[in-house]
Structure formats: C-alpha cells, structure tokens
Structure 1
Amino acid sequence: MNFITLPKCKLALSRGLEKGNTEFTLKDWVTTVYDADSRRWLSINCREGKELLMDTGEDEEPFEKAFPICAVIREEIDAGPPDLNALVFNVDGKVLCRSTDPYDDVTPGTHYAPLSDYHIPAHTKVLGRDELIELERLIAFVDIVTPVASSSPAQERLVFKYYQYVYGIAGNWNSIHIGAKLSDHPHIAPVRHVIVDETDRSRVVGFTMPYYPVDDLRTQSSSRASRPFHLKLKWIQQLMRTVDDLHLKYGVVHGDLHEGNMMIDPATDNLVLIDFGCAQKIGTPQNHYHHRAALTHEPPRAPLLDIGEDIKHVLHAVYRLVTGIIGGRSDGNGGFIVTTSAHIREGEWVKAPNVTLDHPIEEYQSLCVNWLRARNAGPRITKHCQASEPLDYPDYMPPPEVDIKAYKRELADPNLRPRYQPPCEPEWEGLLEDMRGFGWSWEMWSAEWIKELRGLPYATSGRNFLRRKATAAGLSVLGWERPLTAHLDRTRPLLANGKYQDEYVGAGAAPTTQRKRKHSAGQENVVDQDTEQDGDEHGGRTLDSEGVTPTKRVTRSATKKKAGNAGPTPCEPTRKVAAPKRKRKAAPSKAKE
C-alpha cells in the first residue's frame, strides 16, 4: 500500500484505505488519513464527495481534487484537540461533526518482530527510539534524526524509516536485511542502525540510513528549467552495474527503480540506490501477499516480481533523464505516442534543453543498447537461489503466535477455509525490457483472505488490529504520536518517540552513565550498567554472530515486572460501552428518636 504525502498540508493518503462501495459509501468519500506531522490517524467522511474527489484522468496528480478538502483537515488538526479521531464535512469544506470518542479511533496496531528474528550482520548497531533526536520531518514514516550520543549532531544526520501498520512489515523486513548485508556496497544505501522500541528494547520498529543533502535525480531533472542539470555517463554505468549485482549476484529485485530513488553522494560523486521498501528476493510473491505467505507454504495466486521490470525501469529512467520525455510525446496531429522500449533502443535521442552531458548523447544510447543486449544473452534468473552469492535471510517475517492460532482456526472451519491456487510464474519469452508486469487483479482478493489480512473481528494483537480494541482488552500498544510542528518547543530536543528529552526517563536517556544501587540488608547488591560497547561512538549495541545482543540488563525490579505483567486474557470488546454512572452519596439518615 503506497502513501502519497501532500507536502503543503503534511497529510498522507492511500487509495488502499478508501472504503469500497457499500450502502453507506456510494456517495460519500470515506477514508483514513495519516498526519505525517503529528503521526496520528483520522477517520474522514466527506458527504456527497466520492465522485468529486476521486481521480478520473491519468494526467491528474494523485488526490489532486482532494487538495482543498485536505487543507480543511489540516486546519482542524492544528486547531482541534489532541485526541481528535474523526471528522465529517461536506464538499464545501464545512465541518459537520468532530469526534473525540475513543470508539472512533482508527489508529492501527501492528506486529514488531523481536531482534532475534532478524538475520543481520554482527557489526550492525542497535539503538532505541529514545536514543535518537528528531531534526526534521520529511514525509510519512520518514524523519531526519541524529543520535543522542553524537559528538556533532549538526553534521551527523540520518534518515529514520519506520512503520506503523501491517502493510509496512514486508518493506521494513526486506530493507533492513538488504541494507545491512550490503552495507559495504558503494552504490547501495547502507543500514546504519536497527531501531528498537524503548520499552523492552527488543522489538524492531525501523532503521536508519545515511542522509544525502542533495536532491534526487528526479528533482534535479524536473527543475532543469530554473537551473542546469548535469548528467554524467559514469552514473548510468554505476546504475547498471548495481542492478546487475542485485539480480545476478544477490538474487534480489529492487521493484521501484525510478529517478526519485537515485541519489548522488556529494562526498564520493557516486550514484547510490535508496528505498528498498518494494524489494524482495527473486521468485517470492509480491509484498502485498507477505502476510498470508508467512503462514503457509501455499500462498494465494500472486504475481511474482521479475528482473525484467527492473531492467525496463532503468531503461526508461535513463531515457527520461537525457531527453526529458516522460511517458511519451505528441505525434503532431493531436495524438500521443507512448514511449516504448523499442523507441528507446532504435529511435533518435534528442537532448532536453538545459541538460548538460559529459559525453556525446550517442554514447548514452549505445550504453543502454549494449547493456540490454548483454542481459538478454545472459542468465535468466527466476529464483533467488540461482544467484552467485544469494542473500541469506528468511523470505518472510515470522508471524506472531496469535496469527498462527487464528490461521489454524480458519483451516478448521470449512466456511473460512481459504482457497489456494499456485502462484503465477513469469513467462520468459522475448526480451527482458519488453516484458510487462502482471498488474493488479482484484480477483485475487478473496473475501477469506481479506478477512485474515485485516484481522478477525475482535483481534486485539497480531500483525493487524486497532489500538482501541487492544486498549479495551488491557494490552499495551506502542505509541507514535508527537507534538505538532507549530506547537514545538524549539529550545528542548524532541526524541524520536515523541517525548522531550528533558521530561523523558528511559533506558537510553543517559547511555554512558553507570548507576549503582545498594539494596537493604538481606538482598543482593544489583549493579545497573549502561556502558557503550567498544568501538561504538553512538551508544549503539553490537550484535553477536547469531544476531542477538551479547549483554542484557537484568534488575530485581525488572524481574518482578516481568513476572507480574502477564496481562489479562484478551477479551472481545463490545462496540461501545457507556461509562458507569457515578453513584450519588446517600443523604445522612435522621437519628432515631
């Protein structure tokens, strides 16, 4: 599920969160909006606004028609209460209803796998959310941070990527493993830290990668009207060699190769690929099927990402950067000629205005043609294990026990038993660059699978549930909310968990201090030590060869807390339970005569 962050209002929307055509949503635009500023989720209902706000043309910018409504939502969030959960308004932007009812809370909860489930190198450093200071908020689920223990916070800037919902599991799982295992590759953005929650410091919530203080190639190319765009031939060569390494050496497909994911490192003047959120091993189902496939060896019929998609996207990206032609060009008679791989291979390239090339344009075209010829004549990898040095990590994040039990209940119930078909195998006929993706087929979405993916009606934990249901069941949920930018106290550092550093007392608040506590007579002396691991100037913890932390703080209070914090048995919350009325105090009785 892709989120599009609208930069002016800092709201993120996704077509996947829009409600379908039911008796209540035939005319209303009903969706869930994510506020990238405060990291809050809101339920939105625009009366009679479905036809007006839905995109109708391919030339329209995504959610272009919803921009005025999103401005109204932004104003309500900034001026409204911090516990605002739902908004109802008409197409003119007039607010009809504001709700702070906890039942209207649509904040999702999701599963964060323990650190021991990740197969990451021993040199990978681990930090808690409370060991990162927020510097800037970029887009949904992406911030710029710096480590608390950094000696130069202004210079050591990192990109912190995290997830808060079920559809982020696959992207986080693959990004961490690929970025950590290929951290030495000169043209792949490495994973600097694995980030865990600050409560028990064991659940992985995200990762950090280097921050490149330059625009990506898409932004540089699109702004060539106001400033020259310099494109070097060596960057194209580095791009093609890196894609070859991913496919033929490591058995990985990137899945989202476009100019926006291509950066130029100013320190080395080399091209670097970022954003492996759509990447996966060659031959595994697409990320949309990650959740069901993690439960069974018989995944539903799902299209497989193939290396031909990556090759086609590289070809089109180079063509767009050189010629400035996006999608196609006019035929001179009011028609539109769609750019195909054949046009790029055989047609004449014309350099776009204000684009500077360090080699003749013919060399850029011949480089593409020769690379394609070599790839078409080379090995056709259809499975991850066919690569020369395949990356070794599990295909899917191990599901939590509650999901396994729910899946077994489905198998035992004939009315819920899922129907499986073998996965789609790609057809390896023709040229790689002429292959087309299988597209998205709603027929693959059986009602049984949707029910499992979204969670059972009273699910309170697992990979997908609602926070209000977990709270009603007495379970704790990891919080992500933070103050609005307009309400920030700039004189106080804000941690990545949304708390100010001076008011938060956590395990990572003072990572270099040593505290000793002596217990009363008859008890053992317990020593708490939070010392930095040797060679880690950021206060991060290194991992042993099995991917677990070599040391762990254990105190008497922590032992008691663990023993007495089993939590109540999850129950099935009702739709809405009214708060019990407060009993009035009885009037004092008269004394008996």
Structure 2
Amino acid sequence: MIDPTYRFWSPYEDKPNGGPYSWHILDCDQRRWVTVTGSPKAVPRDPDAIKILRRHIDQLDPAVHKITVSDEGDIVSISSHPNDEAAWFVHYPRYDPRDVPNGHTTLMRTQMEEVDRVGHSVDMVRYEDGPGKSQLGIFKYSMIYIHLDRIWNELQIMMALPKHELIVPFGRIVLDDVEPRILGFTVPFIPGGTFDENKTRPFRFAWLQQLTSLVDELHFKFGIYHQDIAGRNIVVDPVTGKIRLFDFEFAAKIGSPSVDIYRNDIDQVIFTIYEILTLDVHFREIASWDQDVKAIEEMAEWDVKIPIEAGNGGIKEIRSFLAEWAAGRRSKAQNGPVNATSQLDWPGFPPQTPVLYTSRDRAYNIEGGSS
C-alpha cells in the first residue's frame, strides 16, 4: 500500500491572472489524473489542492477527470469529458536486443502479477523465474514522461554494474505487450524493510563500514555518484546480514553535467547514519541547497534512539569513524578529479521513434502528420 503521504503529486498547473487555478494531480495509487480547479483562495498552492482531492477521491467515479470546488473545498461540479483529462503521453523507448548487455533477460508486462503498489511508479510484483520458480520483485517504471530519462538512466546503470554483495541486483527488463518498448525494470524484493521502514533493529558498526566502503568503490572504481543515499534506499539482506543499496535513479558519472553539488554522497552518508540512529530527519526536510551537514558533525551529542549492537563500541566510535572517513574523502576531493579504475559507461536516452495512434477517424504519429 502506498504511503498516504506520497500518494498524490502535482507536477504542473494552470494559474491565469485572477484565476481560477487548476492543479493537475497524479494519484499514484489509482494511476489516474484528476484536475482540481478553484479560486486562488480555494487552491492557492498544490498542497491545498491535494488536501481537497484527498477528501473526495474515494467518492469519485474512476471516469472523473476534473473537479471544480468552492472556496470551502466542496465539489461544485465534476467532469468526465476526455478533453479534461490531464494525463501526459509517455513515449517509452523502443527495445533493441543489441543495446542490452549479455545475460540480461526481458519480461512482458502481462507475465507479472501485481501484488501491491508501494510507491510512486513502484509496484511489488510476482512472476515466473524459471520452471516452477516464483520470484517476488519490485517493478519500477514511469507514469509521466519527465521521469523517463531517470528510469532509463537507472536501468542502464544497474545493467552496467557487476554483481555486488552490497547492491540490490538487477532483475529483468519489462516490455510492453503491444510492441517492444521498455516500460521499466525489476529488482528482486528483499524482505525485512528499509531503514526507514524498520526502525527497531539494533544498528551494527559493520553496516557503517560497508556503506562507506561501497561509496568509495562507486566513486573510485566505477566513477559514479549515487546522489540519493538515504535510509529509504538501504535494506539489510536477511541471508548475509549485510546492507544493500538501491535506487540509482539520480546517479551520475563523475564529471558529467548530471552531477548535483547539493547531492554530495559524503554528506548524504553522514545525514543517513544520523537519521537512522536518532530518527531525526528534519535536516533533510528542506531544499537540498539549504541542508547543512556541519550542524550534525558539530553537534555535541546525538540523541540516539536506536540501540547499537555491542562489540565495536558505541556512538563515539561511530562518529569518530564517520569524521575520519569524511575528512579523508574531502581531502582527496581537493587533489583533483577521480580516475576510476573501471569507469562505467552507458548509452543516453535514445531518440524518439514514431508511435501510431488514432484520433476519431484518422491515424497519426507523434512526430506529426496523418495517414
């Protein structure tokens, strides 16, 4: 079940001078778009429109595309007219087996059984992985075109990375059944929950060592920044007892234009360990460019809420190790660019290819013209 906090998202809006305002909202649970229209007083910002939609969504017919609301947030009118549907066309890239590294296999969408919807464009699925063998996996895809390049980027990076005990492995490329277009990909489901989901297990010093060594390897061996290190993207493998990192959606080749200086992996490791141990996430609830890792590093005491497993010292040793590692990495960063020993490389998002669609009595393709 999708966390209610992340169920709705409004990526764009129409705000003419004087109103009315229209917020186009994606319901990630029902995979539908609903436009909320009202006066600037009723829906001045997208959170206000989402709050109103949350009140009414369970009473709306699935065919409803738009609701108009009063200043008090009550529904004045509804529309199921196709012209009021805000859904964007998603131009999925065409699949070409020649572009796929050896050893990676495909899966048709109809070969998967949906088990649950766990996040924005993230489902838990089950599929057959060999004769009589059922695989539980996580299917990641894109419902809007502005996320397509991120999904493509992550898919390519996951395929390019060699198998690693500290990284959730790549699963299958998922293809549309109508024509061979890449919808997304799967990774195996690892039970036990992320650090954000499971906040009761005692913390192991070894997990800190594994995370820092993995970040070093990503930088110095593979030449990439992860750029989204957080407790929500780390699980503990129940078989090995070691951490596994996932979600390479924002990852970038070091030195490329995709590197975000405000998504520094070193700082993110410090934020992550602090958040796991203290359950305090407020330092990263603000815009990335306003986040201050020094406030954590210079804090006299951390208010630790999670037990630390005995054997390798406590919070003092953890903070000392973190400080020494971060200082060493920052010192290296001042000495010039990273020279990765096994630099990863992957293709950029492919050029668009025509997709035929029908409008009334004429056939068109997305590149223009009719037939």
Q: SS of the counterpart of 1:398? A: coil
Deviations 1:229-250 (A, max 9, x none): 4111111111111111222211
Structure-to-structure mapping, 1:227-306, within 5 angstroms:
228-286=200-258, 304-306=259-261
Structure 1 partner of 2:191: 213
Could you tell me whether the CA contact under 8 Å between 2:122 and 2:140 is conserved in 1?
Answer: yes
Q: SS of the counterpart of 1:123? A: coil
Higher RCO by CA contacts (8 Å cutoff, separation 6 or greater)? 1
Deviations 1:165-205 (A, max 9, x none): 221122111111111222501111222000111112x2111
1:320 pairs with one of 268, 275, 284: 275
Q: SS of the counterpart of 1:136? A: strand
Structure 2 residue 362 is the aligned partner of structure 1 residue 362: no
> 1:114 and 1:343, CA in 2 relative to 1: closer, same or farther beyond 3 A?
same
> Which residue identity is paired with 1:305?
D
Structure 2 residue 39 is the aligned partner of structure 1 residue 47: yes
TM-score by length of 2: 0.85
Structure-to-structure mapping, 1:99-498, within 5 angstroms:
99-116=79-96, 119-148=99-128, 151-153=132-134, 156-200=135-179, 202-221=180-199, 228-286=200-258, 304-306=259-261, 309-327=264-282, 340-358=292-310, 359-378=313-332, 386-394=339-347, 396-400=348-352, 471=359, 474-475=363-364
> 1:387 and 1:41, CA in 2 relative to 1: closer, same or farther beyond 3 A?
same
Could you tell me whether the CA contact under 8 Å between 2:2 and 2:29 is conserved in 1?
Answer: no
> 1:9 and 1:269, CA in 2 relative to 1: closer, same or farther beyond 3 A?
closer
Structure 2 residue 72 is the aligned partner of structure 1 residue 92: yes
Q: 2: distance between equivalents of 1:393 and 1:188?
A: 18
TM-score by length of 1: 0.55
Structure 1 partner of 2:53: 70
Deviations 1:383-441 (A, max 9, x none): 78x422111212x2022157xxxxxxxxxxxxxxxxxxxxxxxxxxxxxxxxxxxxxxx
> Which residue identity is paired with 1:319?
Y
Could you tell me whether the CA contact under 8 Å between 2:228 and 2:263 is conserved in 1?
Answer: no
Q: CA deviation at 1:309?
A: 1.2
2:17 pairs with one of 12, 16, 23: 23
Q: SS of the counterpart of 1:313? A: helix
Count matched residues.
361
Could you tell me whether the CA contact under 8 Å between 2:229 and 2:265 is conserved in 1?
Answer: yes
Q: 2: distance between equivalents of 1:259 and 1:383?
A: 28
Q: 2: distance between equivalents of 1:12 and 1:122?
A: 38
The gaps in structure 2 that reach 5 residues or longer are: 284-289
> Which residue identity is paired with 1:43?
T
> 1:354 and 1:157, CA in 2 relative to 1: closer, same or farther beyond 3 A?
same
Deviations 1:469-507 (A, max 9, x none): x64562489xxxxxxxxxxxxxxxxxxxxxxxxxxxxxx
> 1:70 and 1:11, CA in 2 relative to 1: closer, same or farther beyond 3 A?
farther
The gaps in structure 1 that reach 5 residues or longer are: 55-62, 222-227, 287-303, 329-337, 403-460, 478-566, 572-593
> 1:125 and 1:35, CA in 2 relative to 1: closer, same or farther beyond 3 A?
same
- Greater Cα radius of gyration, structure 1 or 2: 1
Q: 1: distance between equivalents of 2:36 and 2:90?
A: 21
Q: 2: distance between equivalents of 1:476 and 1:204?
A: 19
Q: SS of the counterpart of 1:219? A: coil
Structure 1 partner of 2:286: none
Q: SS of the counterpart of 1:138? A: strand
Q: 1: distance between equivalents of 2:281 and 2:117?
A: 30
Could you tell me whether the CA contact under 8 Å between 1:233 and 1:357 is conserved in 2?
Answer: yes
Q: SS of the counterpart of 2:101? A: coil
Q: 2: distance between equivalents of 1:126 and 1:142?
A: 18
Could you tell me whether the CA contact under 8 Å between 1:129 and 1:198 is conserved in 2?
Answer: yes
Q: 1: distance between equivalents of 2:144 and 2:270?
A: 33
> Which residue identity is paired with 2:147?
G
1:35 pairs with one of 27, 32, 42: 27
Q: CA deviation at 1:22?
A: 2.0
> Which residue identity is paired with 1:378?
K
Q: SS of the counterpart of 1:213? A: coil
Could you tell me whether the CA contact under 8 Å between 2:194 and 2:236 is conserved in 1?
Answer: yes
Structure 1 partner of 2:370: 570
Could you tell me whether the CA contact under 8 Å between 1:17 and 1:32 is conserved in 2?
Answer: yes
Deviations 1:361-400 (A, max 9, x none): 111011111111221232569878x422111212x20221
